[in-house]
Structure 1
């Protein structure tokens, strides 16, 4: 890949894995709140967050889920990939200072439609904090 082209459908195999890791910072949470408009105090206000089931501030779930998009668009399958669908289950909170690793694994290839189904999970250490599945459309050499 040269940074502008990802894998072609013909290059993808079941079981291939791509990943991206990022340590979540205070700045990430504040910027995500500003960009998304989600100013829920569980993300921004420590005193309020201490009164919740989380007993402290947590990162937006969609901030961590965004790291899945990073993998799809830059690593596997990479540039040229078109996101078609995504389902997510938020299993555990992410906190400031946690390193989130998004891991994407190819589960199914639907050649006639140029579609790829991927398992999309995020982890903090060994703990799965987000579980999901995505479908993407991938460029094909046959269509080029």
Structure 2
């Protein structure tokens, strides 16, 4: 399940500090399998129940970068949206994400350098209000001056 969030572009001229957007998605077995295929990360903690049950996670977990990819989706589709160029992202993984979890990815503008079109955002993913990932993104936002 994926929220029907607004998609498109918010140009640097219209972005404000404190502006926030989010996306909610249930992580499925198929998501994990497809991410393993695309990334070539076939670590059995993600794919093999028997193996994963004997780890510290006591069950299968989603790839951390699959969860982080939801942040990229919010940035690339909503805030700032289409035409955004990713410049950097820090990530700290706080808790595992499991198949069936509803992840809420949130980005919030914390700083801007309008002449350089740079936008800094606090980023995090949460499950039931508990943060499972946090970080900061820096992007170059689109501008009406360059359309």
When normalised by structure 1's length, the TM-score is: 0.95
Contact 2:80–2:142 (CA<8 Å) still a contact in 1? no
Question: Aligned residue for 1:35?
Answer: 38
Q: Give distance in 2, aligned partners of 1:36 and 1:62.
A: 10
Number of corresponding residues: 142
Q: Give distance in 2, aligned partners of 1:68 and 1:57.
A: 22
Is 1:95 the counterpart of 2:98? The answer is yes
Unaligned residue ranges in structure 2 (runs of 5+): 1-5
Question: Aligned residue for 2:49?
Answer: 46
Unaligned residue ranges in structure 1 (runs of 5+): none
- After superposition, the CA RMSD in angstroms is 1.3
Q: Give distance in 2, aligned partners of 1:29 and 1:103.
A: 21
Q: Give distance in 2, aligned partners of 1:139 and 1:31.
A: 30
1:64 to 64, 67, 73: 67
Deviations 1:12-67 (A, max 9, x none): 00000010111001111011100100000000011111111000100000001000
The 4+ residue runs of structure 1 with deviation greater than 6 A are none
Secondary structure of 2:122 counterpart: strand
Secondary structure of 1:19 counterpart: strand
Question: Aligned residue for 1:18?
Answer: 21
